[in-house]
Amino acid sequence: MTDLFAEPSLTAKSKKDLFPGAVLGDPLKTSDGFLFFELGAPDNDALKGWVPKEHCEERADANRPPLNEAGFVQEAVNVQLRFNATEEIKPGVALKPWIVSADFLIARAIFETGIKNLGKNIPGSDGVGPLQVTTTEWKNFMDNAGDLAKGARLSDRDHPVLQIDGAAFRQHVDGQAMSKIRLDAGKATADDPFVPSFLDMFLAYVTNSPAAALAILDGQSANLPANTSIKDVVKSAMSAAELAALFQAREKLPGTSTVFFGTDASPNSLKGVVELAESTLKTLLADAFGKIKQHRPDMVATVTAGGAPWMAVARDAEARHVTAADSAAEIKTYFADTDFGPVGAELPAWCGAFAAHCMKQSGNPTVAASVPKGAAAAASWKSWGADLSSQDGAIPQGAVIVLSPTPETGGTGHVGFFLSFSPDKKNVILLGGNQSKKVGETPFAADRIAAVRWLDLPGAAGAVAVDGIRLPAKVKQADRANADIIIKAFAAAGYGRDQQIAALANAIEESALNARAHAVGEDSVGLFQLRRFKGVGGKNSVEALMDPAFNTQLIIAEAKRVPLFAKAANLHDAVDAFVRFVEKPSDKPGQSALRLRTAQALIA
């Protein structure tokens, strides 16, 4: 037994008794034979103190507690949901479009440890756990992730599940860093940011350098000779110390004799690194998707026979041979279906505007309302609809594919509609606008896929009879017809009884079904109090958001991004999913409980 001392001295005040076997985490500093630990939350000074070094020992890896794979996968999905439901990490610092992918997090754990709770497993790194999270990663998360890091402790890095948050923030930060590099170089804009692919993200992770990942991308685009040394490609983006660390950590693929980056004296070629990274990542993502299907099937987006009505609009434009040379006037009208604003004499990049036009003119109100903010930019489509795995063998025709820049796309990225993969799976064929300056079908390198998204339209479900619903007294007589609008709209979108009641209960608590409710301070409007600009309300006018049918369609489009809501098996789960990931009030647990009581009272 020993003590947690207030000062590095055996005569100092004891702050806590420590019993044999107590897990202390990593020491933060040392002094005169003592180690300093933080055992509680960062703001809990009572659990910060010094322990004699001779009373501590580093636990052998063999003694690390085993990891439950199902629990890890489930929490990785929860982290994705929690991060991506966050509009701003800090005031003025947006999370989107640099969203988090559970597939990528799980793939990282498979790559590093096979999802095992190992100690230090990367040469030269202090990373630990299934994700091999380093102290630098974790400190960056705690210092810069705002409310996402609230309550996090330094010792949580060594927890095999709690450390997922740090890896998720790293994914966001790497994507944001690559976009900023392109922005600073004048190769992207704030409104149309660079969109990194999964391969870019993987290379940024393994090199520990977003700049090096972009150097590799640029080397490919420049068609450098096949035997060009990877060292020559990345050395301008990395310091000598960073290069040395790279070759030490990534000489070979983890747990194999396969040369990855090689050594400083004998580096692999650019071609060798990229081909190995591509094939490795493809296998990792396929394995990760399989584990999500096994352990969190509720998060696998449903693809039903409802089809993609936007494809009829795209096919019509293709049949009419819409080109930039001959159809500039028509193409400029596509931007009216986005929030881009007036188009000048010169035609901007128009792939995103074409996608928005197809959605708006599809004839389906949910699809029309689903067009994201900033839709003229390809990056904005990364958060449209629900996520599909790029390794899913059943991607439906019409799924939205977002690509990172290639010589074929130029600019900052591209968005189009999925048709098929080539027989060798190396290319993805898209139907889209601004493909060779026309609407048409074009093959693109599959390794440039940054996102695959889908909006499921399963067909109408039976609507709950409004006459049988007991609306609370706070809903005025004049507003009661709005309950019917909500119920019928959710039914038409394919949602069942529990989802219809959950949505209605949320609207009651948000606005008492007053379609003209307007919280001026936060600029939230209408039945579901949709927040303008920063929230689901986007750049729509106050009057537009006061239209009960339009307000409801916007919230349905947001709900379509959350498979968890559609697959909820009971009223409790439907309400909880809607509160946490669709409506997203500040007090999610409290509001979930309140709105469940409201929902239950509606059908009592």
Same domain flag for 315 and 385: yes
Same domain flag for 273 and 331: no
In a domain? residue 248: yes
Last residue of a domain, one of 454, 474, 492: 454
Report the Cα 253 to chain-centroid distance in Å: 26
Last residue of a domain, one of 245, 275, 297: 297
Q: Which pLDDT tens digit goes with each residue over 350-368? A: 999 999 999 999 999 999 9
In a domain? residue 410: yes
Return the SS3 of 548: helix
- What pLDDT is attached to residue 60? 57
Contact 434, 192 (CB under 8 A): no
Same domain flag for 49 and 77: no
- What pLDDT is attached to residue 59? 66
Amino acid letter at 547? D
Same domain flag for 326 and 424: yes
CA separation (Å) from 55 to 18, 58, 60, 62? 10, 11, 16, 20
Same domain flag for 230 and 83: yes
Same domain flag for 179 and 226: yes
In a domain? residue 141: yes
Sign of CA dihedral 162, 167, 173, 175: negative
- What pLDDT is attached to residue 91? 85
E strand or H helix at 318: helix 310-319
- What pLDDT is attached to residue 490? 96
Same domain flag for 363 and 449: yes
Same domain flag for 116 and 147: yes
In a domain? residue 155: yes
Strand partners, 414: 403
Q: Which residue has the tokens 């300093």?
A: 36
Last residue of a domain, one of 10, 36, 58: 58
Domain of 434: which CATH number?
3.90.1720
In a domain? residue 391: yes
Number of helices and strands in the chain (H, E): 20, 16
- What pLDDT is attached to residue 389? 87
The domain tally of the chain equals 4
In a domain? residue 288: yes
Q: Kindly report the number of other CB atoms within 10 A of residue 69's CB atom.
A: 17
Domain of 171: which CATH number?
1.10.530.10
Residues in the chain where the model's pLDDT stays below 70: 41-43, 59-63, 392, 406-411
Closest by alpha carbon to 208, among 113, 160, 137? Answer: 137
Same domain flag for 194 and 327: no
Same domain flag for 364 and 252: no
Domain of 593: which CATH number?
1.10.530
In a domain? residue 460: no
Q: Kindly report the number of other CB atoms within 10 A of residue 202's CB atom.
A: 24
Residues in the chain: 604
Contact 380, 372 (CB under 8 A): yes
Same domain flag for 498 and 399: no
Domain range enclosing 261: 69-297
In a domain? residue 534: yes
- What pLDDT is attached to residue 392? 62
Same domain flag for 551 and 439: no
Q: What share of the chain is helix, strand, coil (3-state, %, to 5)?
A: 45, 15, 40
Helix axes 164-184, 198-207, angle to 10 degrees: 100
- What pLDDT is attached to residue 302? 84
